[in-house]
Amino acid sequence: MNDRAVSVLEKYDIEVLRSWKGRGAILCETKTGVKILKEYKGSSERLLLQKKLLQAVKENGYPRVEEILSTREGELLVRDEEMISYYLKDYVQGKECNSKELSDCESALKQLALYHLSAFLPGLARENDLTGFSLTAELEKHNRELKKVRKYLKEKGQKTDFEMVLSHHYDFFQEKAIKVLEEKRKMEDNSSKENKTPKKLFCHGDFQHHNLLFTGNQTFLINFEKFSLDTPARDLSLFFRKIMEKNGWSAAWGQRMLKAYESLRPLSQEEKLDLYYRLSYPEKFWKIVNFYYNSGKAWIPAKNLEKLERLLKQEEEKKHYLEEHFMQWILH
């Protein structure tokens, strides 16, 4: 973020009292509160839809989201002299959700449930001709990529320590990925026949602890740039997986967090299964493989091997939790 970006603030109908640099952004104090100017790489159409989504969610009963501001001319995107795009929104000051505090995580999932209750907006989806995200299509793509990298590793001659460990465990994760996809397809077929397909809503898309702020007696959701029309399990799985990984896939944590969400928005059987398949799929293994294959292979960072070894430990914990506890919750 360069200093010239400050000049774009003149295009807004605000009086800037002072400004300072934040993480990848510029913060500015105005008479109507603190604003944040962020660089933006997406399209103006998507930013407009993001603004409409935030307004619609507020009108539908969930007011604790940020607001994107327009310039005097009614534009959402502004450009500096280097043609770098920015947008301005309200800045919320507060304490981030602590991933090691169970009470924080329970509060986070209650907020997610409240948000989801207000984020079913079929009219907005129709207006923008959105069909929504397909988990099956994404898993099919991931599995094709895993197959391609497996072939590459088999044909590779001399291997690094990382590649040897990766090759040793590859079949286990690849077979798991294939099995999850097969089960997901069967579930989709059954749900379609019974007309019980999980409904899609406007997911936050990046529901993580740092995008949830506690301020006074209120909680705010911020950073909606990755919003997506998908089932509720998209947001749930991202947050749930990260918190559970940080806490050893504790059954007690899992039970309390799921209970917190369902206390305000009970999940249907199909939504529970959707969540199960998202958690079961070896997403982190795919990410490690994807990063390895698409980066320079002449030098492989030691962190890659550390991530892989940590994943092997977490996979055992996750497997135990999903089989012994999560399935009981689904069948309950």
Residues 40-94 have pLDDT tens digits of: 999 999 999 999 999 999 999 999 999 999 999 999 999 888 888 999 999 988 9
> Average pLDDT, stretch 265-277?
95
Q: Of 224, 230, 236, which is closest to residue 137 (Cα–Cα)?
A: 230
- Residue pLDDT, tens place only, 86-125: 999 999 889 999 999 999 999 999 999 999 999 999 999 9
- What's the CA gap between 7 and 11, in Å, rounded? 8
- Dist CA 77 CA 12 (whole Å): 11
- What distance in Å separates the CA atoms of residue 109 and residue 97, rounded to the nearest whole number? 11
Q: Render pLDDT for 169-196 as a digit per residue (tens, 0 to 9).
A: 999 999 999 999 999 999 888 877 777 7
Q: Which domains does the chain carry?
A: 3-91 (3.30.200.20), 102-331 (3.90.1200.10)
How far, in Å, CA of 23 to CA of 35, rounded?
14
Give the pLDDT of residue 113: 98
For the chain, the maximum distance between any two Cα atoms, rounded to a whole number of angstroms, is: 65
The b/e string for 37-68 (b: 16+ C-beta within 10 A; e otherwise) is bbebeeeeeebebbbbbbebbeeeebebbbeb
Task: Report in angstroms the alpha-carbon separations of 4 from 7, 116, 175.
Answer: 6, 39, 52
Please report, as a single letter, which amino acid is at residue 29: E
Q: Span 129-147, mean pLDDT?
A: 95
Task: Report whether 145 contacts 246 (CB < 8 A).
Answer: no
Span 15-21, mean pLDDT? 88
User: In the structure encoding, which two tokens stand for residue 197, read together?
Assistant: 């397909």
**Tens digit of each residue's pLDDT (9 = 90 or more) over 217-257:** 889 999 999 999 999 999 999 999 999 999 999 999 999 99
Q: What is the mean pLDDT of the chain?
A: 92
Q: What is the pLDDT of residue 153?
A: 93
Do residues 165 and 20 lie in contact, with contact meaning Cβ atoms separated by under 8 Å?
A: no
Instruction: Tell me the H-state helices in the chain.
Output: 44-59, 102-118, 122-127, 135-155, 161-193, 233-246, 251-262, 269-280, 283-294, 302-321, 327-331
Nearest by Cα to 107 from 310, 99, 303, 250? 99
- For residue 5, the model assigns a pLDDT of 63
**What pLDDT sits at residue 7?**
80
Per-residue pLDDT for 331 more than 90?
no
CA distance 239 to 219: 16
d(CA 238, CA 232): 11
Task: For strands 16-22 and 85-90, give the pairing.
Answer: unpaired
Closest by alpha carbon to 68, among 95, 93, 46? 46
CA proximity to 278, closest of 242, 225, 329? 242
